[in-house]
Structure 1
Amino acid sequence: MTLDQLPVGTPARIASVDWSALVAEEAQRLRALGLDEGARVTLAYRGVFAGRDPLAVEIGRMTVAIRRVHALAMTVEPIAEAVA
């Protein structure tokens, strides 16, 4: 599933990113923010208007707003949380 399909509040790990689908400058910015293969992310918010933009993604202690086209380029695998 891609990041834009992830249910809100579900933790996941980025399995792959199709960097060729993104503009080089945008890809560089996303990497600088830590949105790369292996990163643990949670979709915190999805926009409410027509394009459902922006998406708020939690990565570490940051919340980053990205466009849906960026999320479409990221394949994620949901993570099962351990129950304490």
Structure 2
Amino acid sequence: MTLNDTLPNQTVVVLRHHATGVIRQRLMDLGIMPQARVTMVRSAPLGDPIEIKIDNTHVSLRRAEAAGIEVTSITQSEAL
């Protein structure tokens, strides 16, 4: 599953991302790294970009970038 597949208000954990070069560094600088918890906030009206929340920071990503971020959903008990 990728970050692109998540639904609004769904919290996921980042497993890895397949970006390279400058994009990979940008994602790491924004806090999108393995084991980070990310919540999908919303998608723009035309579908691109998406808004995600990492800790208390809101970030907008293109769908193409989100498609390269592999995530796994967390269960309700893990969220607490």
Q: TM-score when scaled to structure 2? A: 0.88
* Identity across the alignment (%): 27
Please report how far the alpha carbon of residue 14 of structure 1 lies from its aligned counterpart in structure 2 after TM superposition: 0.5
Q: Which residue of 1 aligns with 2:49?
A: 54
Q: Deviations over 1:12-48 (max 9, x none)?
A: 100111123xxx2222111001011111001101122
Normalization by structure 1: what TM-score? Answer: 0.85
Gap regions ≥5 residues in structure 2: none
Match of 1:26 in 2: 23
* 2:32 maps to amino acid: L
Q: Which runs of 5+ in 1 are unaligned?
A: none
What secondary structure does 1:19 align onto? Answer: coil
Runs of 4+ aligned residues of structure 1 deviating over 2 Å after TM superposition are: 81-84
Q: 1:7: Cα distance to partner?
A: 1.1
Q: CA RMSD in A?
A: 1.6
Structure with higher Rg: it is 1
